[in-house]
Amino acid sequence: MNYISFRNAAGSDTWGISVDGTVHDLGPSGLNLAASLKAAIEEGIFGKVSDAQLREAPTLAEAEVEFLPAVTDPLKILCIGVNYRTHQEETGKGLDMKAPTVFTRFADSQIGHLQPAQKSASTTQFDYEGELAVVISRPAHRLNVDEAMDHVAGYGIYNDFSCRDWQLEGAQWIPGKNFPGTGAFGPYLVPLADIEDFQSMTLETRVNGEVRQHAVMSDLYFTVPELIAYITGFTRLNPGDVIITGTPGGVGLFMEPPALLSDGDQVEVEISGLGILRNTVKDVA
């Protein structure tokens, strides 16, 4: 099922499930099963909504809602750098890595599906990064690889829009990864149980219809269980926390010539089984 966080026509933030273009409101303005999608994960509701509850919930057309980030209020967003060999090759970094490269993104930098990706006037190198997002289902600390997946709620799509000049001018990547309106997350969060063959899932990023990135999940350098085990070795993860697993080769900065983003460019990230995340670049002050 496609779980969604959204704002309704009355301006209320809520959540629900989208089925064939119809959104069933399960949040505060509807059936009120939980206060938010994150709360639904915390309370064990996520992935367990019944057909009877769907029939009982008020509905509205998906076209009428304002998409919010799939999880609007994670305590932690941890991002992984150079986690596909194709991206390692184009950057010249990370070959034979012994541990993942980890950096943070702030929750208030996030946007939803169809919301504008905000290109600040203070950057001249605005880029895309299509990625798989992993959302944690229950408290996780010092996990081993074998038990890691027992703590996953589901998967979504992320576009880690990056201000490359800010990212690369210092030793830390955090400045270039946290401008307002640059962390696109959505349109849906899909339960882990709904994914039949993770390894063969494909990720594709398109700019104005042109394919820029294409990879399968089996290309990940560090697997999802390995990432969870490593991260929980140094920090505790909680329900609703998000791990952004890295981007494949094909980012704009390393194309010849560089193909960075400008006002009006439409960027789509599609992952099989998870939908299409679409955002249009907008210049802002």
pLDDT tens per residue across span 214-257: 999 999 999 999 999 999 999 999 999 999 999 999 999 999 99
pLDDT of residue 111: 98
CA dist 218 and 240 (Å) reads 24
CA dist 106 and 101 (Å) reads 17
pLDDT of residue 88: 77
The fold adopted by the segment(s) 77-284 is Fumarylacetoacetate hydrolase; domain 2 (3.90.850)
CA dist 75 and 65 (Å) reads 25
User: What is the bridge-based pairing of β-strands 130-136 and 242-244?
Assistant: antiparallel
- Every domain of the chain with CATH number 3.90.850.10 lies at 77-284
95 pLDDT tier (thresholds 50, 70, 90): low
pLDDT of residue 259: 97
243 φ, ψ (degrees, to nearest 5): -115, 125
Question: Can you give the pTM of this predicted structure?
Answer: 0.96
- Could you tell me which of 84, 88, 128 has the C-alpha nearest to residue 246? 84
Paired tokens of 75: 């305590």
Count of H-run helices and E-run strands, the chain: 6, 19
Question: CA of 186: how far to CAs of 31, 131, 172, in Å?
Answer: 22, 11, 26
Question: CA of 110: how far to CAs of 77, 82, 95, 167, 193, in Å?
Answer: 10, 21, 30, 17, 26
Summarised one tens digit per residue, pLDDT across range 118-177 is 999 999 999 999 999 999 999 999 999 999 999 999 999 999 999 999 999 988 899 999
- Rg (the chain; Cα; Å): 18
Question: What type of residue sits at position 176?
Answer: G
Length of the chain: 285
